[in-house]
Structure 1
Amino acid sequence: MPTTYTIAELAREFDITARAIRFYEDQGLLSPSREGVGGRNRVYTPRDRTRLKLTLRGKRLGLTLSEIKSIVDMYESPKDTAAQINRFLGVLSHQRETLEQQRADIDMALEEISAHEEECRRLLAEAGAPGTPPDTRAA
C-alpha cells in the first residue's frame, strides 16, 4: 500500500495553509481521493505531493496557475520528453523576460524617486530651513 498524506501533513511539510491546498485542488492541480463519512477526509498520494511541490516551485518562479497546470499536466503523459522540456523552456524564457522588464521598470522608478528626493532637498536647502517647506515658513 503506497504512502498517503493528510491535508494537515502536506500543509505542515510545505509551510502553507490547508486552505491553499484546497484552492490548488479547486484549480485542478491536485486530485486527492476521499475517505470517511461522506468523503470528508482528503487523502493525498505521493503523486499529489509531487504536484504540490511543483506547483509551489512554479509560484516561486512567478508562473501563473494555468502555466503551472499545463506544465505539470505534461508530465502526466510521457509521450515526448523533448517537447515537454521545450515547452518548459519557453515558459521559463517568457517569465525571465517579464521579470527583467519588471526589474528595468523598478530601476527607472527608483531613479525618478532619487531625482525627486534630491530636488526636494535642494529646495529645502535654498529655503534655509532644513525640513521646512518654503511656503510654510514665517515671513
Structure 2
Amino acid sequence: MATYTITELAKEFDITPRAIRFYEDQGLLSPKREGPSGRNRVYSARERTHLKLTLRGKRLGLSLSEIKHLVTMYDSPKDTEVQLQSFLEVLAKHRASLEQQREDIEIMLAEIKSHEDESRRLLEIAKKAK
C-alpha cells in the first residue's frame, strides 16, 4: 500500500506542509504517526484522496464544513446516488451564492461607471469654464 510523507504531498499538490497540517487540524486528514514520539506523519492513499477532494472543494469555493461533508461522504458506503445528490445540492447552493455575488458586482460596476461618467462630465465643464 502506497504511503506519502507530508513533504511529498505538499510538493505533489503545490501547497505548503503548513496547509496540510491545517487541514489535519480541521479534521479533513488523519495521517498515521510513526517514528520517535509519533513525530512523522504518514499519509495513506485514502488520505491523499481526502487532500485532493479538499483542494478541489477549495478551488470551487466551498466552505470547510461543506468540504468536510464531501470528504465524509467519500468514506461512507458507496451509495453513489445519495452521494451525487448531496454533491449536486452543495453545488447548487454554491452556484446560487456566486450568481448573487455576480449580480451584486454588476450593480456596483454600473454605479462606478455612472460616477466616472459624471466626474468626467464635471471635469469637461470645469475645463470649458477656464
Bigger RCO of structures 1 and 2 (CA < 8 A, at least 6 apart): 2
TM over 0.5: yes
RMSD of the TM alignment (CA)? 1.5
Distance (Å, rounded) in 1 between the aligned partners of 2:8 and 2:113: 47
Which runs of no fewer than 5 residues in structure 2 stay unpaired?
Answer: none
Aligned AA (1:123): L
- Aligned partners of 1:106 and 1:79: how far apart in 2? 40
Q: Partners of 2:9 and 2:93 in 1: how far apart?
A: 30
Amino acid at match of 1:84: Q
TM-score normalised according to structure 1 size: 0.89
CA-CA distance at 1:79 after TM superposition: 5.0
For 1:45 and 1:62, how far apart are their aligned partners in 2?
26
Normalization by structure 2: what TM-score?
0.95
Cross-structure match for 2:35? 36
1:112 aligns with 2:111: yes
Residues 98-135 of structure 1, C-alpha deviations (whole Å, 9 max, x = no match): 00111111111111111111111111110017xxxx9x
Read off the aligned partner of 2:73 and give its amino acid letter. M
Structure 1 residue runs without a partner (length 5+)? none
Counterpart residue type for residue 6 of structure 1: T
CA distance in 2, matches of 1:21, 1:125: 56
Separation in structure 1 between the aligned mates of residue 75 and residue 20 of structure 2, nearest angstrom: 20
| Alpha-carbon separation, structure 2, partners of 1:126 and 1:99 | 40
Higher helix proportion, which one?
2
User: Computing the radius of gyration over CA atoms, which structure comes out larger, 1 or 2?
Assistant: 1
Aligned residues: 130
Distance 1:75 1:9 in 2: 23
Segments of 4+ moved more than 3 angstroms: none
SS at match of 1:63: coil
User: Is residue 18 of structure 2 the alignment partner of residue 19 of structure 1?
Assistant: yes
